[in-house]
Amino acid sequence: MLRLYGMDKILDFKITLLPGDGIGPEVVGEAVRVLEKVASKYNHTFDFQERLMGGCSIDKYGSSLTDEALADCQASDSVLLGAVGGPKWDDPKAKDRPERGLLALRKGLGVFANLRPVKVHPALIDGSPLKPEKLKGVDILVIRELTGGLYFGFPKGRDVKDGRERAVDTLEYYDYEIRRIMKLAFGLAKGRKKKVTSVDKANVLESSRLWRQIATQMGKENPDVELEHVLVDTAAMKLITGPAWMDVVVTENMFGDILTDEASVLAGSMGMLPSASLGESTVGLPHEASVMGLYEPIHGSAPDIAGKGIANPTGTILSTAMMLRHSFKLEVEAAAIEAAVDRSITEGARTADLGGRLTTRQMADEIIKNL
């Protein structure tokens, strides 16, 4: 756990690593090397412990997330996840699947907000399928509610009714779940361009009408922040036709899952983008406080390239920067990682997904060299 020497010098953090499946172990391994360089340069100690989660855990323990692994994560200062899943475990009739472990992990850690920053590096604009003029000034922070909605609602399941097979999922939100994600969105917007775009489907869904009602209330409580309501289909269109108009985007679980994957196209590759999943205690704590967070790249396990050493580790490395900033309050160190990534890209460092030839290890080497 976190240990302090004196009153204010942070020396030791405990980080649980969940490399997971596919390319997960490869990209997490490189992120650890970056953290080790940061520890050496800034006189910190990061204590790493590795646990299984996802398909690899099903294979060994018969469970995508064991109680012991969850307990170790809960006892840590932070968790770094690679990716989970793959065709091997993609049986819809299976009792346990890798993604179930991820949902249980989020619930067990009490993280409810997923932050996904989307920026387009100037040197990578030509790699995006969008026209360069549409990408100028893109700097979006998508905040996705993480523990409610269709993924967690009950009843859920499949049965036979009146001789016909049916499947049921339940979309449910409580007012407090919406209010706390809105509080976070407005708080973060005040440190940016002071604009919040709330995405819903209020013309059809009752849960979205409650979402919009509470967003409107929060807007009145934060008059210094501009609030706009956008239907999810319109938001999906504008992400492609004019993404620069967005600043802080806040939305429910499934909408956020889809929109953030769409937004990854703006950056040229899913391998470039990080994410942070945070809990309620993260907001409003004193600068020196350490808080739990779950950090992971937004990409999947990419089984087609697993083991080839060509995966882009940048999203995972940038996720460690978010860890240093949000969980450990080490802003200087976080900014140093981001600057090193920026410099490496500017100097021409590219993995295959960006049209380059660098291996996973070589890409990390370039970033470490610039730290």
* Rounded-to-integer distance, Cα 341 and Cα 349, Å: 9
**Given the residues 12, 47, 261, 365, the one annotated as active site:** 261
Q: Which of 77, 201, 295, 353 is catalytic?
A: 201
Sort strands 9-20 and 3-5 into parallel, antiparallel or unpaired: antiparallel
**d(C-alpha 172, C-alpha 206), whole Å:** 9
Phi, psi of 48 (to 5 degrees): -100, 135
Alpha carbons 126 and 22: distance in angstroms, whole number = 29
Total residues belonging to the chain = 371
Distance of CA 107 to the CA centre of its chain: 15
257 is catalytic: yes
Residue 151 falls in the annotated catalytic set: yes
Structure tokens at 128: 């995006």
Q: 99: exposed, middle or buried (C-beta count within 10 Å: 0-12, 13-18, 19+)? A: middle
- Cα 121 to Cα 129, 276, 305, 339: the distances in Å are 14, 20, 24, 12
Asked if 74 and 325 count as a contact pair (C-beta separation under 8 A), the reply is no
The answer to whether residues 230 and 239 touch, using CB atoms and an 8 Å cutoff, is: no
Of 21, 77, 96, 151, the catalytic one is: 151
Cβ atoms within 10 Å, residue 89: 21
261 is catalytic: yes
- Quick one: how many helices (H) and strands (E) in the chain? 12, 13
Catalytic residue chosen out of the listed positions 67, 90, 91, 233: 233
Catalytic residue among 257, 329, 342, 365: 257
Cα angle value 68/21/249 (rounded, 5°): 90
The secondary structure of residue 125, as a DSSP letter, is: G
* Residue of 323, 242, 293, 233 whose CA lies nearest to 31: 323
Cite the active site residues: 151, 201, 233, 257, 261
